[in-house]
Structure 1
Amino acid sequence: MNLLHRILLLTVSLAVLGVGRVNAVDFVLASKGVTPAPILVPKDAPPRTKEAAEELARCIEKMTGARPQVVEGAPAEMPARAIWVGYQPAVKSAFPKVDFEFKHPEEILIVANDRHVVIAGRDRWIPGGKVVKNRERKTIVVQQESGTANAVYTFLQDKLGVRWFWPGELGEDVVKSEEIKIAPMEYRYHPTIVGRSGVFHYSNQTDVGYGRSQDWTLHQRLMLDSFPMEGGHGFGDWWDRYHKTHPEIFALQPDGTRSGFPNPRTVKLCASNPKVWELWLKQVEEELAKDPGQTLFNASPNDGWSSGHCVCKDCSAWDHPDGEPRVFNWYKQNAQRPALSDRDVTFANKLAGLLEQKYPGKGYQVMMLSYGHSRPAPMAARPAKNVVIASVANFLGRTGLVDRGSTRGDTYRQQWDAWTKVTSELLWRPNTGSPAGWQQGLPDLSLQQTVSDLKSVAAAGCKGIFIDGVWEHWATMGPQYYVMGQLVWNPSLDAEILWQDYYSRAFGPAASQVRAYYEGIEKARMVFTAENLEADVFEFPKLYTPELLHASQTKLDAAKAAASSGDEVYQKRVAFVQAGLTYTTLTMENIRLMEGYWKKKDPAVAAKVLENWKEVERVIAAHPHAINGGPVRAQTPRMAGLHPEFPITKKKKTVKKVVDDLDAN
């Protein structure tokens, strides 16, 4: 590594650690020739606390070469020096003036004096409660709160300077040091966004789908939240469960039937029917039997938002006559009716009252999506205190996008803002779409806009975020993902400082060139999406032009040259970013070739496209985590038409096709 760069890096990154600080009362956590302070963990600590303690020991060993001993249980006598992970009574004697009562959900505490450090937080779990299997089929104990574990990851980042820029060994950055000192301090924090695991929901602790970033979401304090919200709908299996025994609970159609239109998965209910309420409470009981720690229960109407809603007089009476006129669809007919916001809130309130009546004092809440025809804020109905509204307002990185169901031309941002005025119990559940190739793994960067979006929803009191979906393409989207993770944990952070730290720590002497590369693409993307809010795949070459790709490659070539003067790790990380640009270039060539191929099939064109796909597979295999291969396989719907064996499927123009078009967003 360039000596000057190394000195600057250590000055910036280790100032927080107190490494080399001359201070007689600093706590020496580890020092050359001295056994590291032991890590003490309560014997009855929850599983995530014990895992975090081992991670702390691993990182200290990676920094200093010496691994501290992890000891479970109360010590027989007070040790001369120790790192306490989790609260136990012996800690109080070391810190007699510190308040160890945690008054807020997920509250964390890091406190140090000259001989001890305590890293603790509010932990809640039910021994013998819910367990799940993760991707490796390992049993995971689900905790309701994991404050201590999140406190450890905060300590590692903020006090020991550890960084996880992206998943995998290459994305981890640990600065080696012969000595680590911690100055006396006390730090308390509790996150305001308590539902965070849905931001990278493919990599939460239970999802076994596309996600490959579970360790990263854990370290970013996203995975272990206290308000795990769903992103979906509440009654997807009810037709199969009840249409024979309770046909009366399903939506009355204009033709007088309760047919289950449009299909079993998207069937709507007769929300005013008390039998629906009774069966929903039964479902809550079933869910609690599986997970005694669950506190949020979904009551959101099924998908297919424009189709099949109930027209009975009791349900219709819940609609406000002055609600925004919206177009509704039933079998072979449609009509304009008021928005469903007042109806859905009334339904949620009814369930919320019955829930509190059945489980008094438990703090259970009802989740209702503001989605489709309930996106506008209600005119008169107001959510009860135990009703949480999840707004499907799709403005993440897409400023100005209009709700296609709005007859007034309202934007999603306007709808979100309206909901903030009627409830303080608000979640944000945006669909990302693919404005510039988000779903195809292209560098669909909107860093500045995303920072603004996250900070504004946090300022509005947003309790949780679920994004559908983040596909985990780290070479093309790395800086955006990183800042998203950091800001969801702490929205008050300065994004510019985060970016400076990200680029300087991850890329060293190539920092400015890599930053220029990403920012150049972002600038072009924002211009493109201002005029193409919902672009088709075959429109992407208008953005990723040969000129933009050439300019981007020139910047990465400069980054490669600069990185050669530093440690090998910087060269590898620039190569990681290069894998994203190589993938983008190959995909653009395939889009251009296949657009012509479908007009006139040419075997030579097909051969070139297949050659490009083989190169894509090589790039993905050579650079783990650069591009998530699962979502961008040729046979997936988002890549339809980009491979000669997987053409775009053309649907027949039927009544259902009209419904599908309206329900697509």
Structure 2
Amino acid sequence: MFWKPNAACAMHPCRRMHILSGLSVMVFVLAWMISSASTLHAQSPVTLARDGQTMASIVVQENAPAATQFAATELQKFLSLVTGATFEIRHQPSDSGSSIFLGYSPTVEKHGLTLDKLKPDGFYQALINGNLYLVGRDDPSDKFMPVDRDELYDKEHGTLNAVYNFLEQECGVRWLMPGEIGQVIPKLDVLTIEPGIHCENPVFTDRKMDYLGHFLKFKDIDDFTDSRMEMTLWLMRQRWTTDNFQRGLHSTDRFEFGKRFGQSNPEYFALQKDGQRAINTRRGSYLCWSEPGVAKEFIKDARAWLQGQPPQSRGLSEWSANCFTKNQVCVDPNDAYKHYACQCDKCTAIQKKYGADAKDYSSVIWPAIVEVARGIEDIKGAYISTLAYPPKLFTPQAVQMPSNVHVRLCITGAPSIYAPDLYRQELALLQQWSKLMHGNLALFTYQNISRFDPLEVAMETMPRATAQFYRDTKPYIRGARILRAGTQMTTNMLDYYIAMRLLWNPDQSVDELLDDYFLKGYGPAAKPVAELYERLESLWQTIYTFYPNLQAQDVRYARGKRQGAAKEQDLWNKIYTDQQLTQFDHWLTEAQQLAQGSPQIQARISLLRKNFYDPL
């Protein structure tokens, strides 16, 4: 199932909903009375469609937000595909039949479905007095889902989440992968809903996978869709977060310090060993973080953005989306800082006094970021966002972190479970940061080793490790952004799908989620495909057995060197052996035979052969 109810927002049951072909049960917990117990228990199930004929209409207020109206069109489309019936979208209930009310309204409030019980992205599903209510908090904007940028639509659309939940849980719809090839749409002669009220909130409010631009660059993306909108829709259907806790990274070069201050204030820039300042290097400009003027300029820039001034007022060509979004400003060193770290006397003295690691500059950089945050404290709701990432990975020793600093900690994440020493170190670091930030911490994790030779052809699949990781880290974080920058959608799609469900609720059974994925996606061929993936997960873990400290850079920089050749030799002689390849071929052949008569399932299996097996 996509999610299970949590105690933060649960309401009483009038039914047990059997989810995913009996794999698990969703229990509705008593929270308050609707009318009276006798009235509630007297309510009956409601049939929305029978034999291709509709018995209900979709009701949306005339002035409903664009997000709510879009939810209505999605519900109308998929209900029609499932039942063969045509569902009318109306602004007022019909005189006959049931109504499916979408979005918040006075009618919803009358039934006690108040929005204050919902976290961002949460929703209600309620069947009361013969009518169905699908309700969430929706942004009042008159525009919805712009697709001309790499970040997805980030305004609240809880009603749309309620619609997708309804279609999955009540109708059996699935969106396993992008495009029509990934849609599972059962045909139902009768669609009947049991009475009851359910309120659902995500455990993690921060839930992201890569960014849209990565997906659109996959080598095999045309096998799924050529539509940017369809790719966006698929990610939305995975309940992509609307949380804007932390955005941006490696941002300081977007502040154009080199252009603005390279000549007038060379002291702003990192002093190099040769006596030069790191101004407009091939990697950008690098700053001297102990120089007071640097923080002052950041403060001026941040205040100008937050107060609605044009970028030209600060000598900038634009307000870069990587730095300036809504009520936040990202202040984060350029990548590769360690190669351009400041060697001035002040930075060196701070580093010598507090530096826990010769390559870490946390005690040099964090005080400046804190100073910038202090400089905007008077602007309500404004905050500084940044990463805990080299060169400032560790918690600072010399400063107190203000509440208007939002931090995303960068660690390996789920793959580190295969390297126990690394996992213990990362959990300890995570707990230190969580304590410092009072639990208001998000993660940036890396599951992207397979984008580098010689592992590019491997399938980096780890659903069970992902499940363990988010169960272990649940008490300490608000969520995560998972970087899976592989080269193909085919070899990533299962892990995307499972991870997004675990980010909604990490307490779900990953085995039940996998069973559902294979059963819904591969039908009669579910068993051999599931066996293939289970073996691939085991083999990926074996890679870490050979190389317990394996990181992406270890593979990347080993290419062309002796150790790189040795690793490639191990890949084929010890992991993806001829015997393993023969077994892969056997499973795929068996799956194709079992799926005869099911063109869509055969097409999915063909993708595994074409984009995974054949390149091996």
TM-score scaled by length of structure 2: 0.78
| Aligned partner (choices 282, 303, 310) of residue 342 of structure 2 | 310
| Aligned partner (choices 73, 84, 105) of residue 88 of structure 1 | 105
Partner of 1:622: none
Report if the CA contact (8 A) 2:57-2:93 is conserved: no
Q: Deviations over 1:422-450 (max 9, x none)?
A: 22221211233425869735312222222
Q: Deviations over 1:40-70 (max 9, x none)?
A: 2233333232222211111100011112112
Partner of 1:422: 436
Partner of 2:169: 158
Report if the CA contact (8 A) 1:31-1:180 is conserved: yes
Cα 1:15–1:68 change in 2 (3 A) is farther
Cα 1:440–1:295 change in 2 (3 A) is farther
Alpha-carbon separation, structure 2, partners of 1:317 and 1:145? 47
Q: Deviations over 1:489-520 (max 9, x none)?
A: 22222211101111111111111111111111
Report if the CA contact (8 A) 2:270-2:277 is conserved: yes
Partner of 1:167: 178
Give the 3-state SS of the residue equivalent to 2:527 in structure 1: helix
- The within-5 A match list for 1:229-628 is 229-236=247-254, 237-254=256-273, 256-260=275-279, 262-263=281-282, 265=284, 267-283=286-302, 285-286=304-305, 289=308, 294-312=326-344, 315=347, 319=351, 321-327=353-359, 339-357=360-378, 359=379, 361-362=380-381, 364-399=382-417, 411-423=425-437, 424-434=439-449, 440=456, 442-461=458-477, 463-471=478-486, 473-532=488-547, 533=550, 534-535=554-555, 539=568, 540-542=571-573, 543-564=575-596, 567-585=598-616
| Aligned partner (choices 182, 187, 201) of residue 190 of structure 1 | 201
Give the 3-state SS of the residue equivalent to 1:63 in structure 2: helix
Give the 3-state SS of the residue equivalent to 2:339 in structure 1: coil
Give the 3-state SS of the residue equivalent to 1:418 in structure 2: helix
Report if the CA contact (8 A) 2:206-2:241 is conserved: no
Q: Deviations over 1:434-470 (max 9, x none)?
A: 2586973531222222222233333322x34233343
Partner of 2:35: none
Kindly state the Cα deviation for residue 185 of structure 1 after the two structures are TM-superposed: 1.8
- Counterpart residue type for residue 533 of structure 2: Y
Report if the CA contact (8 A) 1:429-1:467 is conserved: yes
Partner of 2:120: 105
Cα 1:54–1:103 change in 2 (3 A) is closer
Alpha-carbon separation, structure 1, partners of 2:125 and 2:443? 30
Alpha-carbon separation, structure 1, partners of 2:494 and 2:358? 39
The worse-fitting range, judged by mean Cα deviation, of 278-287 and 117-126 is 278-287
| 5+ residue gaps, structure 2 | 1-17, 27-41, 226-230, 309-318, 560-564
Alpha-carbon separation, structure 1, partners of 2:533 and 2:210? 21
Kindly state the Cα deviation for residue 164 of structure 1 after the two structures are TM-superposed: 0.8
Q: Deviations over 1:177-209 (max 9, x none)?
A: 011111112222222433324x131369xx975
Alpha-carbon separation, structure 2, partners of 1:308 and 1:293? 28
Kindly state the Cα deviation for residue 78 of structure 1 after the two structures are TM-superposed: 7.6
Kindly state the Cα deviation for residue 581 of structure 1 after the two structures are TM-superposed: 3.3
Alpha-carbon separation, structure 2, partners of 1:422 and 1:297? 21
Cα 1:13–1:494 change in 2 (3 A) is closer
Kindly state the Cα deviation for residue 483 of structure 1 after the two structures are TM-superposed: 0.6
Cα 1:489–1:286 change in 2 (3 A) is same
Report if the CA contact (8 A) 2:451-2:486 is conserved: no
Kindly state the Cα deviation for residue 306 of structure 1 after the two structures are TM-superposed: 0.9
Alpha-carbon separation, structure 1, partners of 2:186 and 2:24? 8
Cα 1:189–1:202 change in 2 (3 A) is same
Report if the CA contact (8 A) 1:436-1:529 is conserved: no
Alpha-carbon separation, structure 2, partners of 1:391 and 1:114? 48
Alpha-carbon separation, structure 1, partners of 2:93 and 2:426? 60
- Counterpart residue type for residue 578 of structure 2: P
- The within-5 A match list for 1:20-169 is 25-32=44-51, 34-71=53-90, 73=91, 75=92, 80-93=97-110, 95=111, 97-125=112-140, 133-134=148-149, 142-169=153-180
Q: Deviations over 1:117-152 (max 9, x none)?
A: 1111122355689966258xxxx9955322222222
Give the 3-state SS of the residue equivalent to 2:121 in structure 1: coil
Report if the CA contact (8 A) 2:120-2:243 is conserved: no
Kindly state the Cα deviation for residue 340 of structure 1 after the two structures are TM-superposed: 2.1
Q: Deviations over 1:278-298 (max 9, x none)?
A: 344424533774799713321
Give the 3-state SS of the residue equivalent to 2:355 in structure 1: coil
Alpha-carbon separation, structure 2, partners of 1:489 and 1:10? 17
- Counterpart residue type for residue 91 of structure 1: V
Identity %: 22
Kindly state the Cα deviation for residue 76 of structure 1 after the two structures are TM-superposed: 7.6
- Counterpart residue type for residue 83 of structure 1: I
Alpha-carbon separation, structure 2, partners of 1:450 and 1:152? 27
Alpha-carbon separation, structure 2, partners of 1:143 and 1:232? 21
Alpha-carbon separation, structure 1, partners of 2:24 and 2:542? 39
Give the 3-state SS of the residue equivalent to 1:111 in structure 2: strand
Cα 1:437–1:309 change in 2 (3 A) is closer
Alpha-carbon separation, structure 1, partners of 2:144 and 2:74? 24
Alpha-carbon separation, structure 2, partners of 1:353 and 1:52? 41
* Number of residue pairs the alignment of both structures matches: 543
Cα 1:55–1:471 change in 2 (3 A) is farther
Give the 3-state SS of the residue equivalent to 2:607 in structure 1: helix
Kindly state the Cα deviation for residue 412 of structure 1 after the two structures are TM-superposed: 4.2
- Counterpart residue type for residue 570 of structure 1: I
TM-score scaled by length of structure 1: 0.72
Report if the CA contact (8 A) 2:269-2:285 is conserved: no
- Counterpart residue type for residue 305 of structure 2: E
Q: Deviations over 1:14-57 (max 9, x none)?
A: 998xxxxxx96112222226434221223333323222221111
Alpha-carbon separation, structure 1, partners of 2:149 and 2:406? 28
Give the 3-state SS of the residue equivalent to 1:306 in structure 2: helix
Report if the CA contact (8 A) 2:49-2:55 is conserved: yes
Cα 1:452–1:154 change in 2 (3 A) is same
The worse-fitting range, judged by mean Cα deviation, of 218-227 and 288-297 is 288-297
Q: Deviations over 1:266-323 (max 9, x none)?
A: 5224354245333444245337747997133211111113122234455556558243
Partner of 1:177: 188
- Counterpart residue type for residue 56 of structure 1: L
| 5+ residue gaps, structure 1 | 1-7, 17-22, 328-338, 586-665
